[in-house]
Structure formats: structure tokens, C-alpha cells
Chains A and B, each alone.
Chain A
Amino acid sequence: ETGVTQSPTHLIKTRGQQVTLRCSSQSGHNTVSWYQQALGQGPQFIFQYYREEENGRGNFPPRFSGLQFPNYSSELNVNALELDDSALYLCASGTSGSSPYEQYFGPGTRLTVT
């Protein structure tokens, strides 16, 4: 079985631009969550998708949005980039209904906003 993959590995953008990050979930998983990890901090929950709909959001503004596709791949879109958006963005997949609800993480995309 394949693990969670993310692309690209690294990305540099300018303040005000828009960015799209991509994630491919682990085989058999039907939920995907996105987390933001600032340097030296623990990951912060952005949102979760299940059956192609948002299923919970953390304390992030609407310029952070996402999509989940029928094949359980996912995108994170960030509009109007700010310097503080520079971070490692992690995607995690899991199976709804499992107990405990375990999440498996991809290697992340390092976003730098200049």
C-alpha cells in the first residue's frame, strides 16, 4: 500500500500571490486533513474533508480553502499570501469511523512567502 504523498516539496511565493498544494491520500483512507506547522512549533489544524465536503475547520481565515476529489486526492489553496503563511504544510489521511481515529502524515510542502 502506498503512503501519503504531497507535492511540491518546496515552493517560494511572493506576498499577495495564490498557491495550490496537493496531496494524495493513503490507499483505503476516506478523510484528509491539512495542518500548518510554523518553524519550531507543533502542527495546527486547518481543516478536514470527508466525502468531498469540509468536515471541520480550525482557526484559519477563509482565504485558506480546500478540495477533496473522488479519488481522495486533495488540494489546499491559499489566496492573498502573507509572510506569516510561511510554514510546512502537512496533509494527513485517515478512515472515518475508525477508533481510535489515526491519521497518517505526508512529508509536507515547505512554503516560503517573500
Chain B
Amino acid sequence: GNSVTQMEGPVTLSEEAFLTINCTYTATGYPSLFWYVQYPGEGLQLLLKATKADDKGSNKGFEATYRKETTSFHLEKGSVQVSDSAVYFCALTRDTGRRALTFGSGTRLQVQP
């Protein structure tokens, strides 16, 4: 079956530091990959996506590249801000069938001023 594995948190960084959150997946075929962000007390917001190998998703300074050879989709940002503090979820979905999202367990990011 499909599964997503994320690095455990919390990840604590100082403002303007470089961020990497690792994500690897197991899936048959060619899934679409997503990063969602959840701010305290809120639902999930789609941060970025990629649909095929070597695609790079980007949004709000965050980037992730779909690496089929390593089955990875690591999230990166060059300079984090306090406002980036949240829980980040890596997820995948097949583009056929019911297309339910399979999520990782989430990584909490804390950015200190």
C-alpha cells in the first residue's frame, strides 16, 4: 500500500536559517506529491505540489522536487521566518481510483526570532 515517512520533529531554527524537512514515500505507479501546512488551530492548507518525476513545486519561498529514483520529496526554504512556525505534512495521492490523500505524521517547525 501507499505510505509516507517524514522526519520527526520538532525542528527548531533561528529566523533566516535554511530549512529542510525530509519526506520519502512508497507507492505503486506515479503518485502526485503534496506538502500541506497546518497553522495552530487551523485546517490544512496546500503549500505546493508536483505531479511527475523531476517536477519542482514552489510557493511562498518553499520548494520541493519530485525525485523518483530516491522516492523523495524534501521540503526546503532558504530563509525561514517566525510566521513559518507550523506543522508540515507530506502527502501523496494516486491520480486514479478514489485518489485519497495518504499523509505522513507531520513535522512541527518552530522558528525563533
Contact = CB atoms under 8 A, between A and B. Distances in A.
Whether chain B is bound by chain A comes out as yes
Interface of B: 4, 32, 34, 36, 42-46, 49, 51, 89, 91, 93, 95, 97-106
B49 A102 contact: yes
A41 B44 CA distance: 13
A45 B105 contact: no
A-side interface size class? 20 to 34
Contacts, number: 64
B43 A33 contact: no
A90 B43 contact: yes
Contacts of A35: 101
Contact of A102 (B42, B46, B102): B46
Given A42-B89, A104-B46, A106-B43, A33 B106 contact: no
A92 B102 CA distance: 13
Interface string A13-52: 0000000000000000000010100001111110010000
A99 B32 CA distance: 9
12 contacts: A33-B100, A35-B101, A42-B106, A43-B103, A45-B102, A48-B100, A101-B93, A103-B93, A103-B101, A105-B43, A106-B43, A108-B43
